[in-house]
Amino acid sequence: MVSADGRVVMVFNGEIYNFRELRAHLEAAGDVFSSQSDSEVLLALFCRYGIECLNRLNGIFAVVFWERDTNTLWVARDQLGVKPLYIHSGDGCFAFSSEMKGLIRSGFGTTEIDPRAVLAHLGFLWSPGEKTIVRDIKKVLPGQALCVRNGRIEKSWFYYELPIAEKQLAKKVDDVAIEVASAVRTAVKRQLVSDVPLGSFLSGGLDSSAIVAFAAQEMQNKGRLQCFSIRIDNGATSNEGFADDLPYAQKVAKHLDVDLHVVGVGDEMMDRLPEMVYLLDEPTPDPAALNALFISELASQNGIKVLLSGAGGDDIFTGYRRHFALAQERWWGGLPKPLRSVLANTSNLLPASSPLSRRLGKAFRYADLPTDDRLISYFLWLEPKQAYSLLAPDLRRQLAADDLFAPMRETLSRLPSDVTPLDKMLTLECKHFLTDHNLNYTDKMGMAAGVEVRVPLLDLDLVRLAGSLPSEIKQKGREGKWIFKKAMEPYLPHDIIYRPKTGFGVPLRNWLQGRLKPLVDEVLSPASLLQRGIFDPQAVARLIEADRSGRIDAAYTLFGIVCMELWCKQYLDGNFALDR
Rg of the chain on CA atoms, in Å: 24
pLDDT at residue number 394: 93
d(CA 24, CA 418): 40
**Mean pLDDT to the nearest integer, 307-321:** 96
CB of 148 within 8 A of CB of 96?
no
Give the CA distances from residue 540 to residues 33, 100, 515, in Å, rounded to whole numbers and listed in that order. 60, 28, 20
| Residue 76: strand, helix, or coil | strand
Percent of the chain clearing pLDDT 70 (strictly above): 96
What is the DSSP pairing of strand 93-97 with strand 259-265? unpaired
pLDDT at residue number 171: 84
| Residue 61: strand, helix, or coil | strand
pLDDT in tens, 467-507: 999 999 999 999 999 999 999 999 999 999 999 877 666 88
pLDDT at residue number 241: 54
pLDDT at 368 over 90: no
State phi, psi for 141 to the nearest 5 degrees: -85, 160
β-sheet bridge partners, residue 93? 90
- Statement: the pTM of the whole predicted model exceeds 0.85: yes
pLDDT at residue number 339: 86
Q: State the pLDDT confidence band at 426, using cuts at 50, 70 and 90.
A: very high
**Mean pLDDT to the nearest integer, 357-373:** 81
Q: What is the DSSP letter of 504?
A: S
Query: Is 230 flagged in the annotation as binding?
Result: yes
pLDDT at residue number 353: 64
The angle formed by the CA atoms of residues 365, 366 and 371, to the nearest 5 degrees, is 150
pLDDT in tens, 436-445: 999 999 999 9
What is the average pLDDT score of the chain?
92
Query: Is 536 flagged in the annotation as binding?
Result: no
CB of 11 within 8 A of CB of 63?
yes
Per-residue three-class SS string for 78-89: CCCCCCCCEEEE
pLDDT at residue number 352: 64
**Mean pLDDT to the nearest integer, 272-291:** 95
Query: Is 178 flagged in the annotation as binding?
Result: no
pLDDT at residue number 194: 86
pLDDT at 342 over 90: no
CB of 463 within 8 A of CB of 157?
no
pLDDT in tens, 96-134: 999 999 999 998 877 789 999 999 999 999 999 999 999
Q: What DSSP element (H or E) covers 73?
A: strand 72-77
pLDDT in tens, 517-553: 999 999 999 999 999 999 999 999 999 999 998 888 8
**Among 83-92, 250-259, 357-366, 381-390, which stretch is predicted with the lowest mean pLDDT?**
357-366
- Side-chain half-sphere exposure of 420, counting CA atoms within 13 A: 20
**Mean pLDDT to the nearest integer, 49-71:** 97
**Mean pLDDT to the nearest integer, 414-443:** 95
- E strands along 204-289, which residues? 226-232, 259-265
pLDDT at residue number 510: 87
CB of 78 within 8 A of CB of 60?
yes
> Which domains are assigned to the chain?
8-158 (3.60.20.10), 173-317+425-497 (3.40.50.620)
pLDDT at residue number 488: 98
| Helix, strand, coil percentages in the chain from 3-state DSSP, rounded to 5 | 50, 15, 35
pLDDT at residue number 345: 82
Q: State the pLDDT confidence band at 193, using cuts at 50, 70 and 90.
A: confident
- E strands along 182-234, which residues? 198-201, 226-232
Tally of CB atoms within 10 A around 573: 9
Query: Is 238 flagged in the annotation as binding?
Result: no
CB of 296 within 8 A of CB of 303?
no
Q: Which residue has the higher pLDDT, 558 or 366?
A: 558
**Among 120-134, 180-194, 394-408, which stretch is predicted with the lowest mean pLDDT?**
394-408
pLDDT in tens, 219-257: 988 889 999 999 988 655 555 555 688 999 999 999 999
pLDDT at 570 over 80: yes
Tally of CB atoms within 10 A around 371: 12
Most distant CA pair in the chain, distance: 73
Q: State the pLDDT confidence band at 330, using cuts at 50, 70 and 90.
A: confident
pLDDT at residue number 491: 98
